[in-house]
């Protein structure tokens, strides 16, 4: 695994890219913010913009990610203008160097891909990478949110989660919002599928 500090820094930089560059590119087309898991990371395929590791790909052109300002200019989105669909979590800083580690970026890309495939396996029909949390998620049966988070302020490392819309008690439910399972306890796609299915059985 990449150094935990590098993983956190990379996640925060990618989160900012999602909120200030990739989601705005999608929003300009159809006023939707949902992103898609793509090879090497995530993107807005309809807008022809995606993050691949530590590079930004626009159409057939590819450039290293350096700053938010440079990424916005390359993607053709207005600098410092988020979608407005929700309050941004990250801050716009046009010239601050993006802290991106190649190993950490690959780990996160693999995590999103694993989460997306596991969600599809348990029956999710609309799997989305949401820019406000940078998580791959889906809602099943209008009763539970399932997802794979890259980490957040409460969880430094990636985790799976099961978030039922109603409160549940028991040892499985280890979070205020429901339940989580850290990435170190996930052996692969089958393990993620088993976790999601266990949560669904208990609801």
Range of the structural domain that residue 27 is part of: 4-102
pLDDT at 2: 61
Contacts of 69 (CB under 8 A, 6+ apart): 79, 94, 95
Condensed to tens digits (0 to 9), the pLDDT of residues 161-170 reads 999 999 999 9
Kindly give the residue spans of alpha helices, DSSP state H, lying in the chain: 4-17, 23-30, 68-75, 102-121, 189-202
Contact by Cβ (8 Å): 107, 183: no
pLDDT at 125: 87
Domain boundary among 102, 131, 160: 102
pLDDT at 181: 98
Residues 198 and 109 in one domain: yes
Q: How many domains does one find in the chain? A: 2
Condensed to tens digits (0 to 9), the pLDDT of residues 72-88 reads 999 999 999 999 999 99
pLDDT at 90: 98
Residue ranges of the chain with per-residue pLDDT less than 50: none
In the block, tokens 């990371």 appear at 41
Residues 114 and 160 in one domain: yes
Residues 64 and 84 in one domain: yes
Beta bridge partners of 144: 140, 164
Q: Provide the token pair at 54.
A: 């530590």
**The model's pTM:** 0.95
Domain boundary among 84, 102, 120: 102
Residues 79 and 16 in one domain: yes
pLDDT at 113: 98
Residues 27 and 65 in one domain: yes
Residues 98 and 110 in one domain: no
pLDDT at 18: 98
Q: Provide the token pair at 86.
A: 């929700």
Residues 110 and 198 in one domain: yes
Q: How many residues does the chain have?
A: 203
Beta bridge partners of 55: 52, 64
Residues 75 and 114 in one domain: no
Residues 115 and 98 in one domain: no
pLDDT at 188: 93
Residues 133 and 71 in one domain: no
Residues 12 and 61 in one domain: yes
Residues 83 and 110 in one domain: no
């Amino acid at each position: 695994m990449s150094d935990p500090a590098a993983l956190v820094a990379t996640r925060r930089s990618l989160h900012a890219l999602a909120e200030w560059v990739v989601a705005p590119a999608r929003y300009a087309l159809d006023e939707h913010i949902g992103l898609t898991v793509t090879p090497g990371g995530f993107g807005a395929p309809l807008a022809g913009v995606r993050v691949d590791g530590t590079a930004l790909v626009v159409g057939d052109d590819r450039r290293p990610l350096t700053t938010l300002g440079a990424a916005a200019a390359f993607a053709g989105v207005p600098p410092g203008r988020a979608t407005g669909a929700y309050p941004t979590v990250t801050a716009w800083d046009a010239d601050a160097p993006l802290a991106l580690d190649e190993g950490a970026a690959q780990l996160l890309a693999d995590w999103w891909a694993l989460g997306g495939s596991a969600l599809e396996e348990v029956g999710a029909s609309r799997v989305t990478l949401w820019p406000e949390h940078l998580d791959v998620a889906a809602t099943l049966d209008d009763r539970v949110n399932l997802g794979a988070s890259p980490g957040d302020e409460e969880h430094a490392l990636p985790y799976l989660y099961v978030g039922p819309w109603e409160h549940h008690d028991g040892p499985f439910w280890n979070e205020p919002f429901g339940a989580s399972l850290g990435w170190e306890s996930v052996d692969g796609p089958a393990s993620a599928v088993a976790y999601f299915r266990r949560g669904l059985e208990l609801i």
